[in-house]
Amino acid sequence: MRLVITADTHVPKRARDLPGELWAAIDAADVVLHAGDWVDVALLDALERRARRLVGVYGNNDGPELRARLPEVARVELAGVRVAVVHETGPSARREERCAAAYGDCDLLVFGHSHIPWDSVAPGGLRLLNPGSPTDRRRQPYATYLTAEAAAGRLDRVELHRLPPRR
């Protein structure tokens, strides 16, 4: 099962649209995971039309219309991988311990908010992934998103994709 993992898209505030490379990855994916800060419901509508399956949550920059359609936390099983998606996990210090306590029944936690790519493993084996942002790199050298594969209860081929600078 091919996964695309993104967050903090901030469309149309930080970009008019998602980068073409990310749309192509979405079109090829079996599941798209979005960890919040959509900003406008139009992007949610577009992703729902194009993605085979979409799992998303709202973020702190998402207003009432998005909050009415998306949960704060989403939990799904994908090819035997137990996944939770949330926007914010708090400060990076002790993140693994906090998340293991809150999501210890999961194999993977996808989160956003910081715009900083993150890949770590918490006590007990919970993997934490933050894809960064494909549109608002802030102090990061690149705008980014993640892809991965889920099969037989395992997450493999996790890859951080660096996007070319916007013109």
Can you tell me the distance from the alpha carbon of 75 to that of 86, in angstroms, rounded to the nearest whole number? 9
Residue 2: other Cβ atoms inside 10 A: 16
68: amino acid identity, one letter: A
Please give the backbone phi and psi of residue 122, each rounded to the nearest 5 degrees, phi first: -85, 165
Segments in 90-153 forming alpha helices (H): 95-103
Give the CATH number, domain containing residue 51. 3.60.21.10
pTM, whole model, 2 decimals?
A: 0.96
Domain membership of residue 145 as a residue range: 2-163
CA distance 24 to 18: 10
Q: Are 59 and 35 in contact, with CB atoms under 8 Å apart?
A: yes
* Per-residue model confidence as pLDDT tens digits over 31-71: 999 999 999 999 999 999 999 999 999 999 999 999 999 99
The count of domains in the chain is: 1
Residue keyed to tokens 């599941």: 31
Instruction: Dump pLDDT digits (tens) for 19-36.
Output: 999 999 999 999 999 999
